[in-house]
Structure 1
Amino acid sequence: MREKVDVAVIGCGEAGIYAAYELTRLNPGLKVLVLEKGRDIYSRSCPIVAGKVRECVQCPVCDTMCGFGGAGAFSDGKFNFTTAFGGWLTDFMPAKEVMDLIGYVDEINVAHGATEEVYSTSSPAAKALEKKALEFDLHLLQARCKHLGTENNLRILQNIFEDMKDRVDFRFNTEVDKIENLGEEGYRLTTAKGDEVDCGWLVAGPGRSGAEWFANQCKGLGIQLINNQVDIGVRVELPARVFEHITDVVYESKLVYRTKQYGDQVRTFCMNPYGHVVAENVEGINTVNGHSYADPALQSENTNFALLVSNRFTEPFNEPYRYGKHIASLSNMLAGGVLVQRFGDLVKGVRSNDHRMSKSFTRPTLTAAVPGDLSLALPKRQLDDIIEMIYQLDKLAPGTANYDTLLYGAEVKFYSSRLALSGELETALPRFFAIGDGAGVTRGLAQAGASGVKVAQVITRRLKEIGK
């Protein structure tokens, strides 16, 4: 079967949702089709989260990563008002425009049930914390932040879906196999089911799980790719009290440190006070992430956060995504899934096992993680960077380097090889736009949503220019 639409959107993550939302708001009657290989927001359910299994069962399509809301649907819903992190949209447009777009996305969220409470960075306590961090050569990147909460994030997305479903054609459980350039006629998408969709305008927001597929499609279309960074590291879990004096002041604290041994940059990422460590499945590779609920009844006694080492490669290497997957697959090979080790065991050079873990004062919230040895999975350079960073954090938050601090691995943030895009996020092919994390231009809820809105506004302006 072949059909024709005005605009086709690939991917129903944060970027794709806001692109379709704004397109249909500004252009009533425009035929917008969203193709998503995952399920709708009501049908997504990870067997691990549901308590049906302890370990990943390799679902053909991962409900944690795919479906309405993308990977962000089951995140703890941090919404950061900043251009300092969360993406690279300022490479394409002025910082003020990015902030205006982020503010508009927040307005949409609030209209659909998001909190209006914001963690400020201007308080005396926040300024004092920033100064204290500098004493230890730790650089605190602060931003106004909203914590939506994992459970509230889902509710907001459900409300947005209900608002959109009558004006947007959503096709769930529909994977796009191929993108074909039809020249002036636009583009043809062929699905895994064999159906074809022709569109005059194409917006690609494949998300993290579709990043490798999208990069291959772009290569086939002759679109230039630029190496993007790969972030490799671990998720740290420790008693919440260790970081309370930080997380009570700035909920999302990003601490950046340049190691003395190698001069590499290490950063904290995705801080989850009183949160839970969770497993993710990215195209058959088990990685680790963190959640945090707004409801105190659902919270744990621990805080978790990622420690990531950023690596940016140069020619001739051009497959950063595959490199990250390879590192993650090593820990999968050793543990059959996510691996966990006590910090003291790692430094001592011994493998954590069930007996040693049973003596730990810090109890893991991801009970399916298998005790093991991270030094057999992570490259030495990244591991040395992480250990140095933990000792440095211990100066700001004493207790970080405790023997029983837990390290889960591997945590890998996959970013597609970045596309060469215009300031309007358009590829070298006319009327073909790329947005969100899977296109390598964002890495968080706020900027992903902003990228979708931007493209919708660009398409709307051009439609008016040609009188449609």
Structure 2
Amino acid sequence: MTYDVIIVGAGPAGIFTALELVKKETKKKILIIEKGRSIDKRHCPKEHTKNCVYCKPYCHITTGFSGAGAFSDGKLSLSYEVGGELPDLIGTTLAEEFISYTDDIYLEFGADTKIEGIENSEAIKEIRRKSIEAGLKLVDCPIRHLGTEKAQEIYYEIQKYLLDAGVEISFNYLVKDLFIEDDTVKGVQAVSLKDQKEEQRILGEKVIVAAGRKGADWLKNMCTKHHIDHRAGTVDIGVRVEVRNEVMERVNNVLYESKLIGYPVPFRDKVRTFCQNPGGFVSQENYDDDLAIVNGHSYKDKKSDNTNLAILSSHNFLEPFNQPIQYGKKVSELVNMLGNGSILVQRYGDILEGKRTWEKELSQSNVSPTLPDAVAGDLTSAIPYRPMSNILNFIEAMNTVVPGFASRETLLYGPEVKFYSNKININEDFETNIKGLYCLGDSSGWTRGLMMASVMGVMMGRKLTE
């Protein structure tokens, strides 16, 4: 089997590479290889069981067409300042241009036309004033909210569009290795997860790796094996915070998502809010070896009484250490161990008092957990001192911006760790030191989130038609 373009991974970066090639009426023969299922066959049993059943061979929330994007809250950040470091590579002007172009594609496939966070300028000024008082920076970022259920519909329409246009998509196929000779990529080695027969060698002139956060560790192994230039990047260690909607009401109404950045004492590490979900639900994602990671969803129609958001502490390691992904996994494993394999939840006030949280105390609180199978316990026994101190000091600062945020009943869930920390060295065409091999999206270390990964895909498709 021989193709002009092989795309490894059907997340936003891979999807939008193929989509742009089709829109440019390419004659290239395109294959997308995806470990998971088509989007119409992705279903999380937890909707019925109420408890995670640890699906095999992979978690349907993180794996399949559109990647974790299909089961995320579906927020498109419309600012180049949010979503990773791609603007450092291509420039802010080009980043803004392609964000606008990519946003139009989402609208074409049914995204909500409403943009959050661009009205009520006086109220935004007041939130900014309080942020400055707290020593935090408020990042201006208009948001287009798709919603978890609507995101699935949009990506389903894109999936149909690609298939109707002749793009081949091999679902339930695992790329085990890259086929490289004389510093030039020749294709991939893949195997069907359905029957586990012999590996197939699939040849391709261009190979685009867009493996997402789920594939970051695999890509790191490929880099080591095939001498693909890369470097250790940032690892984000954090928690997901949940409060009553009443506490976040003003920020929710004015901004929908408040993107705040701080550098709290004593370490001055970068700490930021991420993925705010008004009326949302805390969720669980499973990675390799049943690693349980916390996340958050926000639906268009179904709402809870709570708002959740992530607080992430960024860490960069110096020589000789160069395994930030493994570091994040070890932290996550330790939290999972204390939760007996489940997500751990603890009240903010209990952390300050130096005690664990008990189930009975959760049942007596104003904040009722939206992740019902989270286990009450002690996050401070697992998350290292430095990120935990950063998180607690950041919450205290947030209380100036949002009074009540640092209530003793505020819930902290863990672990929330972002596995995009291996950074691939690429040129402006996104090509690695291996001829014909390109790396995109969150697994490349250059993007974070739906919009920037999609933008990188659009640009890749454009470059392949030039």
TM-score, normalised relative to structure 2: 0.95
Contact 1:34 1:168 in 2 (8 A): yes
Say whether 1:200 aligns with 2:211: no
- Counterpart amino acid of residue 82 in structure 2: F
* Structure 1 contact 182–188 (Cα < 8 Å) conserved: no
Q: Give the 5 Å matches for 1:381-400.
A: 381-400=386-405
What's the RMSD between the two structures over aligned residues? 1.4
Which letter maps to 1:345? D
Equivalent-residue separation in structure 2 for 1:242 and 1:361 (angstroms): 11
Distance in 1 between the 2:428 and 2:276 partners? 31
In the other structure, the counterpart of 1:140 is 138
| Alignment of structure 1 residues 329-368 onto 2, 5 Å | 329-335=333-339, 336-368=341-373
Q: Which amino acid in structure 2 is aligned with residue 315 of structure 1? A: E
Distance in 1 (CA, whole Å) between partners of 2:419 and 2:112 is 29
Task: Indicate if the aligned counterparts of 2:141 and 2:259 stay in contact, CA closer than 8 A.
Answer: no
Is contact 1:236–1:305 with CA below 8 Å preserved after alignment?
yes
Residue 21 of structure 1 corresponds to: 19
- State the 4+ residue runs in structure 1 displaced beyond 4 angstroms: 183-186
**Counterparts of 2:123 and 2:50, CA distance in 1:** 43
CA positional deviation for 1:116: 1.3
CA offsets, 1:353-383, max 9 Å, x none? 1222221111000001001100111001111
The answer to whether structure 1 residue 99 and structure 2 residue 93 are counterparts is no
Which residue matches 2:284? Answer: 279
Contact 1:121 1:127 in 2 (8 A): no
Q: Deviations over 1:395-447 (max 9, x none)?
A: 11111111111110011011141011101111111221110001111001111
Q: Provide the residue aligned with 1:180 in structure 2.
A: 179
**Aligned-partner SS, 1:92:** helix
Give 2:291's aligned amino acid. Answer: I
Specify the alignment match of 1:85 in structure 2.
82
Closer, same or farther in 2 for the Cα pair 1:393/1:201, shift >3 Å?
A: same
Aligned to 2:297: 291
Task: Please give the alpha-carbon distance, in whole angstroms, between the structure 2 residues aligned to 1:265 and 1:147.
Answer: 26
Q: For residue 170 of structure 2, what is the aligned residue in structure 1? A: 171
- Equivalent-residue separation in structure 2 for 1:278 and 1:23 (angstroms): 34
Q: 1:403 aligns with which of 398, 408, 416?
A: 408
Pairwise CA distance, 1:458: 1.0
- 1:14/1:69 contact within 8 Å kept: yes
SS state at 1:199 partner: strand
User: How far apart, CA to CA, are the structure 2 residues paired with 1:355 and 1:185?
Assistant: 60
Q: Does the CA contact (< 8 Å) of 1:208 and 1:416 recur in 2?
A: no
Q: Secondary structure at the match of 2:48?
A: coil
Matches within 5 A, 1:43-442: 43-48=41-46, 50-121=47-118, 123-166=121-164, 167-183=166-182, 186-193=185-192, 194-283=199-288, 284-295=290-301, 298-335=302-339, 336-442=341-447
Using the TM superposition, give the Cα deviation of residue 452 of structure 1 relative to its aligned residue in structure 2, in angstroms. Answer: 0.6
Query: 124-133 vs 210-219, which deviates more?
Result: 124-133
Among all aligned residue pairs of Structure 1 and Structure 2, give the percentage whose two residues are the same amino acid: 39
Q: Do the aligned residues in 2 keep the contact of 1:342 with 1:406 (CA within 8 Å)?
A: yes
Measure, in 1, the Cα distance between the counterparts of 2:54 and 2:117: 41
| Kept in 1: contact 2:251–2:257 (CA 8 A) | no
**Residue 58 of structure 1: how far off its partner (Å):** 4.6
Letter of the aligned partner of 2:296 in structure 1?
G
- Give, as a single letter, the amino acid of the residue that structure 1 aligns with 2:334: L
Question: Structure 2 vs 1, CA of residues 186 and 258 (structure 1 numbering), >3 Å: closer, same or farther?
Answer: closer
> Cα offset for 1:29?
3.1
Q: SS of the counterpart of 1:216?
A: helix
Structure 1 position 93, deviation (Å): 0.7
Give the letter aligned to residue 398 of structure 2. Answer: L
The whole-number CA distance in structure 2 between the counterparts of 1:305 and 1:120 is 16
Alpha-carbon distance in structure 2 between the residues aligned to 1:300 and 1:329: 29
In structure 1, what is the Cα distance between the partners aligned to 2:49 and 2:21? 39
**More displaced 10-residue stretch of structure 1: 269-278 or 88-97:** 88-97
**CA distance, structure 2, for counterparts of residue 330 and residue 318 of structure 1:** 20
Q: Distance in 2 between matches of 1:368 and 1:125?
A: 37
Shift in Å, 1:53: 4.5
